[in-house]
Amino acid sequence: MSLRPTTDVALQALMLPFVTEALAWPGSGALFLHARDGWPLHARATPGLVVEQGFKPEADALERAGFVPSTDPSKLYPLVLLLPPRQREELRALFAQALDRCEEGGVVLASVANDAGAKSAEADLRRLAGLDGSLSKHHCRVFWTRKQTGRIDADLLAQWRTLDVPRRIAAPQLPQGGFLSRPGVFAWDRIDPASALLAAQLPADLDGHGADLGAGWGYLAIELLRRNPRVQALDLYEAQARALELVRTNLADTGTSATLEFLWHDVTVGLARRYDFIVTNPPFHAHDRADRPELGQRFIEVAAQALRPGGRLFLVANRHLPYEHALSAHFAQIRVLAQQGGFKAIEALRSMR
């Protein structure tokens, strides 16, 4: 079963200027930032296309489709395509990066769904570098600019380059009074209330080898290690490479004696190791922000497969999400630890056999 969305209207719209011949595909290659695979990329020739994607499921899909990852961040391209993220500061930083990696006279092309902020994203690129074209289809806007240094707002470009830089976020309850984060990471500038609820319910008797599935910037892992000094090893699985860079630094600040391993991994494909306990605040959204409860259900299934007999799962989720059937199918005992603010924290025990 594929857990990737079956339709991607933003990707479909991104290729529209080439379908209508408003733009021509360059012979010397192109760069695709925030790339995603899908049938529109295969409907016509895209010679010389290289891709960048930090989200492991999408990176794996691009690799399976045969697309070549970018390996030279200094190389300039006559065409830079991007599917901008929703988070405004991350989006603006990506526009700056796209211009920096585009040749003079080359094209920067973006596509955004209308309900994902197309109007404001288009206005941002116009403000930064002007616009040379715009089309509307598939409930999306696709728009582009030809890079002309003379019309780029140099001060704004310099400012937007820094919007995505990792920074310290104040959180007095964490070690050293804060944590390292950056725009675009889940709950990047705060402690997520669901994770806070689960953290408050974590026991103090955990030991052995554990895992955090979907570690984010590291809050649950920090709290788990603080409460459980007998934990010998903790594996941190995170699909967002951007977040994994942060969790390394944040956990280094804790001074834990546990052996830590940081894994850029798509949990939904399964885990190769066995664990005494697992904690998780599983995702339930796709890139289009549609609810995908099957993601959390798959996390539960994978956790059950990875736990040793008698192993414990600690999970938090929105109360409306239908996880009880998946839990009952894979665990011998299930206990609701707390319900608060629309969230539920659950402990599930794997059978001893």
How is the chain split into domains, by residue range?
9-161, 167-349
pLDDT band at 219 (very low <50, low <70, confident <90, very high): very high
Q: Is-same-fold flag (9-161; 167-349)?
A: yes
Burial 34-55 (b: 16+ CB within 10 A, else e): bbbbbebbeeeebebbbbbbbb
β strands within the chain, DSSP E: 30-33, 49-52, 68-69, 77-82, 102-113, 133-137, 140-146, 167-170, 178-181, 208-213, 231-238, 259-264, 275-280, 307-318, 333-340, 343-349
Q: Give the pLDDT score at 173.
A: 62
Long-range contacts: 84-89, Cβ < 8 Å, 24+? 84/34, 84/110, 84/112, 84/121, 85/34, 85/184, 86/116, 86/117, 86/289, 87/183, 87/184, 87/188, 88/117, 88/120, 88/183, 89/163, 89/164, 89/183, 89/184
**Does the pLDDT at position 89 exceed 70?**
yes
pLDDT of residue 159: 98
Q: For all residues of the chain together, what is the average pLDDT?
A: 92
Give the SS3 label for residue 147: coil
H helical segments located in 233-308: 241-252, 293-306
pLDDT at residue number 258: 96
> Looking at the predicted structure, is the pLDDT value of residue 1 above 50?
no
Say yes or no to pLDDT of 200 above 90.
Answer: yes
Task: Determine what percent of the chain is predicted with pLDDT higher than 70.
Answer: 94
Q: Is the pLDDT of residue 174 over 70?
A: no
Residue 231, sorted as left (phi over 0), alpha (psi -120 to 50) or beta, turns out to be beta
Cα–Cα distance measured from residue 56 to residue 238, given in angstroms and rounded to the nearest whole number: 8
> Stretch 22-51: mean pLDDT, rounded?
95
| pLDDT for position 351 | 87
Beta-carbon-side half-sphere exposure of residue 278 (alpha carbons within 13 Å): 29
Q: What was the pLDDT predicted at 320?
A: 83
- Specify the residue for token string 């969790």: 247
Tell me the per-residue pLDDT of 256-313, one tens digit each, with 9 for 90 and over: 999 999 999 999 999 999 999 999 999 875 554 556 788 999 999 999 999 999 999 9
DSSP state of 55: B
Q: Can you name the CATH fold of 9-161?
A: Rossmann fold (3.40.50)
Q: Which CATH superfamily is domain 167-349 in?
A: Vaccinia Virus protein VP39 (3.40.50.150)
Angle CA 223–227–230, to nearest 5: 120
The neighbour count for residue 248, using CB atoms within 10 Å, is 14
- pLDDT of residue 331 exceeding 90: yes
Tokens of 92: 């603006």
**DSSP letter (8 states) at residue 228:** -
Per-residue pLDDT at 169 exceeds 50: yes
Rounded average pLDDT over 44-71: 95
Residue of higher predicted confidence among 2 and 152: 152
Place of tokens 């109360």: 319
Reported as a pLDDT band with limits 50, 70 and 90, residue 128 is: very high
**Overall average pLDDT of the 141-145 stretch:** 98
CA–CA distance from 332 to each of 14, 228, 264, 328 (Å)? 48, 24, 30, 7
Report the distance separating Cα 257 and Cα 71, nearest Å.
35
